[in-house]
């Protein structure tokens, strides 16, 4: 029977079966599995190697969004268990960045405050016979693991292991000479899962906060599993690159009888044309290549803020992106679109002329123009210009070339001009000229300010800008036919950063 025939026959039997509820297109994030309203605990866990960048914003915002939806608790957990990769300033910069992003933090936890807790858990795992102290060389231990073979320490008894662990804590071993290994399954087909390092010895680099108080440092898998349990996490969002870490950490949860949080692994994001790598940027700042963490060429949160991005646009972007396991390519176009939707409504319009060339207009003794501050908001008033002979304005070089070729051009809100033998002559102010296909260009009067607009490429666009009120400092405005910019300073020279 064809589908059509079935349809007809079904109609005869029970036509209500043919009506299906329209499934609405889902808005926002998918529901969190097993989430109970008011009983959700999530975390954001950055390493304090620098301020936050675009890559961090995804998981920060997703966690925050879910916490808001379920009236949950957001924990900011600073993972500072590798003293080699800590920038002490990051302890302050990370909360600042989260605040700018509009992320509500309910609790802040610093892992270096919790070493004793990790040691306690280590002792419990040792007692369960699920850990050993290995003093083999790195290559030896790794090589055996690859062949599914135990190292000589794997079967040492609990008392011996405990004694060695206490000796580690007491500083009896040098850096690199002993590790605590958590047993998993040496025969596991996935080599990434077999026995993992729980603690190592670090003595060469003092901890920026704790100095040389500790010499035994937990590895990420150990401290993360411990804290995810102790902090009562219900849901964990993490990148797909942690898939194997989740499996490793599951061993600890199982040994200790802990209830596992619900894990969601999202796909990796590749951000084209962005400088994100914290270590690279740090070097660049020290060498003077970058002006600082907020250099507009960078993909840091503070650089985006400086450029005039709205936190709400970044949030909308990531919520739209969702949390699938598919890898995604970050789209500047899409985030610009979200930002534009927000900023376009509130950005006042001004004329900025880049690549400026002077243009004298003949045939008029005086000219004036009234231009709306915002075309959609007449109540914001008009920018007024008044010029007397000789009337000289500045226009964009390329615009002038095109205009001369075309023969006529419309100066926005000022008047029409005609070009004859290289001279520009005023042609009245009749707008019907537009019907004839004449182009509109913008301009600035002769008595205006110089301006520099810093582009995210590092390029600087110099030109002239009309006089902006001081109240625009710190705000995003639109330079017509140029783009949106965030104004840093209006006088005596305007400085602005290009948004998009």
Partner RNA sequence: GCUCCCGUAGUGUAGUCCGGCCAAUCAUGAAGCCCUCUCGAGGCUUCGACUCGGGUUCAAAUCCCGACGGGAGCACCA
Residue in 237, 293, 262, 287 with CA at minimum distance from that of residue 66: 237
Does the footprint of RNA cover residue 402 (CB under 7 A)?
yes
Does the footprint of RNA cover residue 268 (CB under 7 A)?
yes
Cα–Cα distance measured from residue 302 to residue 306, given in angstroms and rounded to the nearest whole number = 6
Task: Tell me how far, at minimum, the Cβ of 127 lies from RNA, in Å.
Answer: 22
Task: Tell me how far, at minimum, the Cβ of 347 lies from RNA, in Å.
Answer: 8
Does the footprint of RNA cover residue 431 (CB under 7 A)?
yes
The piece of 63-71, 142-150, 164-172, 256-264 that touches RNA (CB under 7 A) is: 142-150
Sign of the Cα pseudo-torsion (404, 407, 410, 411, in order): positive
Does the footprint of RNA cover residue 172 (CB under 7 A)?
no
Do strands 415-420 and 349-350 pair parallel, antiparallel, or not at all (unpaired)?
Answer: unpaired
Q: Contact with RNA (CB under 7 A): which of 129, 322, 363, 450?
A: 322
Beta pairing partners, 109: 77
Does the footprint of RNA cover residue 321 (CB under 7 A)?
yes
Nearer to RNA, 94 or 441 (CB): 441
The piece of 208-216, 225-233, 256-264, 429-437 that touches RNA (CB under 7 A) is: 429-437
The piece of 115-123, 304-312, 328-336, 485-493 that touches RNA (CB under 7 A) is: 328-336
Does the footprint of RNA cover residue 441 (CB under 7 A)?
yes
Task: Tell me how far, at minimum, the Cβ of 374 lies from RNA, in Å.
Answer: 8
For residue 123, how many other CB atoms are within 10 A of its CB? Answer: 15
Residue in 376, 441, 372 with CA at minimum distance from that of residue 405: 441
Q: Contact with RNA (CB under 7 A): which of 26, 147, 187, 286?
A: 26
Distances (CA, A) of 127 to 20, 150, 255: 59, 19, 11
Task: Tell me how far, at minimum, the Cβ of 288 lies from RNA, in Å.
Answer: 27
Q: Contact with RNA (CB under 7 A): which of 57, 63, 82, 394?
A: 82
Residue in 499, 481, 475 with CA at minimum distance from that of residue 490: 475
> Exposure pattern of 62-81 as b/e (b: 16+ CB <10 Å)?
bbbbbbeebebbbbbbbbbb
Task: Tell me how far, at minimum, the Cβ of 492 lies from RNA, in Å.
Answer: 25
Does the footprint of RNA cover residue 320 (CB under 7 A)?
yes
Does the footprint of RNA cover residue 176 (CB under 7 A)?
yes
Binders of RNA among residues 456 to 495 (CB under 7 A) are 478, 480-483
Does the footprint of RNA cover residue 324 (CB under 7 A)?
yes
Preceding amide of 314 cis, omega within 30: no
Residue with tokens 């190592």: 200
Residue with tokens 């599914």: 148
Burial of 8 (0-12, 13-18, 19+ CB in 10 A): exposed
Task: Tell me how far, at minimum, the Cβ of 286 lies from RNA, in Å.
Answer: 20
* Total number of residues that touch RNA (CB under 7 A): 89
Residue in 388, 402, 397, 492 with CA at minimum distance from that of residue 448: 492
Does the footprint of RNA cover residue 6 (CB under 7 A)?
yes
The piece of 214-222, 250-258, 303-311, 385-393 that touches RNA (CB under 7 A) is: 214-222
Residue in 41, 48, 42 with CA at minimum distance from that of residue 96: 48
Cα–Cα distance measured from residue 75 to residue 61, given in angstroms and rounded to the nearest whole number = 12
Cα–Cα distance measured from residue 102 to residue 61, given in angstroms and rounded to the nearest whole number = 8
Q: Contact with RNA (CB under 7 A): which of 112, 245, 249, 278?
A: 245
Distance of CA 15 to the CA centre of its chain: 51
Cα–Cα distance measured from residue 133 to residue 165, given in angstroms and rounded to the nearest whole number = 7
Does the footprint of RNA cover residue 325 (CB under 7 A)?
yes
Does the footprint of RNA cover residue 328 (CB under 7 A)?
yes
Does the footprint of RNA cover residue 388 (CB under 7 A)?
no
Nearer to RNA, 68 or 324 (CB): 324
Nearer to RNA, 33 or 257 (CB): 33
Q: Contact with RNA (CB under 7 A): which of 106, 439, 470, 493?
A: 439
Task: Tell me how far, at minimum, the Cβ of 226 lies from RNA, in Å.
Answer: 13
Distances (CA, A) of 70 to 38, 106, 137, 196: 6, 14, 48, 35
Nearer to RNA, 137 or 447 (CB): 137
Does the footprint of RNA cover residue 240 (CB under 7 A)?
yes
Nearer to RNA, 162 or 440 (CB): 440
Q: Contact with RNA (CB under 7 A): which of 136, 151, 303, 391?
A: 136
Q: Contact with RNA (CB under 7 A): which of 38, 189, 211, 422?
A: 189
């Amino acid at each position: 029977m064809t589908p059509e025939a079935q349809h007809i026959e079904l109609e005869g039997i029970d036509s209500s079966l043919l009506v299906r509820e329209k499934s609405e297109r889902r808005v926002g994030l998918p529901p969190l599995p097993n989430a109970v309203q008011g009983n959700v605990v999530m975390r954001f866990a950055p390493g304090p190697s620098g301020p936050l960048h675009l890559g961090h914003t995804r998981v920060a915002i997703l966690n925050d969004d879910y916490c808001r939806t379920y009236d949950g608790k957001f924990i900011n957990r600073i993972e500072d268990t590798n003293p080699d990769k800590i920038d002490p300033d990051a302890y302050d910069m990370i909360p600042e960045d989260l605040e700018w992003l509009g992320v509500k933090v309910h609790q802040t936890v610093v892992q270096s405050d919790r070493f004793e807790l990790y040691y306690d858990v280590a002792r419990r795992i040792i007692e369960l016979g699920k850990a050993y102290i290995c003093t083999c060389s790195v290559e030896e231990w790794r090589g055996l693991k690859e062949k599914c073979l135990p190292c000589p320490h794997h079967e040492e008894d609990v008392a011996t292991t405990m004694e060695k662990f206490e000796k580690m804590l007491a500083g009896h071993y040098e850096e690199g000479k002993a590790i605590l290994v958590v047993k998993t399954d040496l025969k596991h087909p996935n080599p990434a899962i077999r026995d993992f390092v729980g603690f190592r010895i670090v003595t060469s680099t003092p901890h920026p906060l704790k100095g040389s108080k500790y010499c035994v440092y937990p590895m990420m898998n150990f401290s993360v599993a411990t804290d995810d349990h102790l902090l009562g996490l219900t849901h964990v969002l993490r990148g797909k690159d942690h898939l194997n870490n989740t499996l490793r950490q599951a061993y600890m949860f199982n040994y200790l009888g802990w209830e596992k949080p619900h894990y969601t692994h999202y796909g990796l994001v590749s951000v084209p044309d962005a400088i994100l790598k914290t270590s690279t940027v740090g070097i660049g700042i020290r060498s003077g290549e970058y002006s600082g963490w907020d250099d507009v060429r960078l993909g840091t949160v503070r650089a985006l803020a400086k450029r005039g991005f709205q936190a709400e646009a970044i949030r909308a972007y990531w919520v739209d992106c969702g949390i699938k396991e598919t890898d995604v390519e970050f789209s500047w176009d899409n985030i610009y679109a979200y930002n534009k939707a927000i900023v376009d409504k509130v950005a006042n319009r001004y004329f900025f002329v880049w690549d400026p060339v002077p243009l004298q207009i003949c045939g008029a003794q005086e000219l004036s123009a009234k231009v709306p501050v915002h075309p959609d908001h007449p109540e914001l008033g008009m920018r007024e210009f008044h010029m007397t002979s000789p009337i000289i304005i500045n226009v964009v070089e390329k615009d002038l070339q095109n205009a001369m070729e075309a023969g006529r051009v419309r100066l926005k809100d000022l008047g029409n001009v005609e070009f004859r033998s290289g001279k520009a002559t005023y042609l009245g102010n009749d707008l019907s000229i537009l019907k004839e296909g004449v182009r509109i260009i913008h301009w600035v009067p002769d008595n205006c300010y110089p301006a520099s607009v810093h582009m995210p490429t590092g390029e600087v666009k110099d030109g002239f800008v009309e006089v902006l009120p001081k109240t625009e400092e710190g705000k995003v405005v639109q330079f017509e036919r140029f783009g949106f910019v965030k104004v840093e300073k209006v006088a005596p020279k305007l400085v602005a950063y290009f948004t998009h």
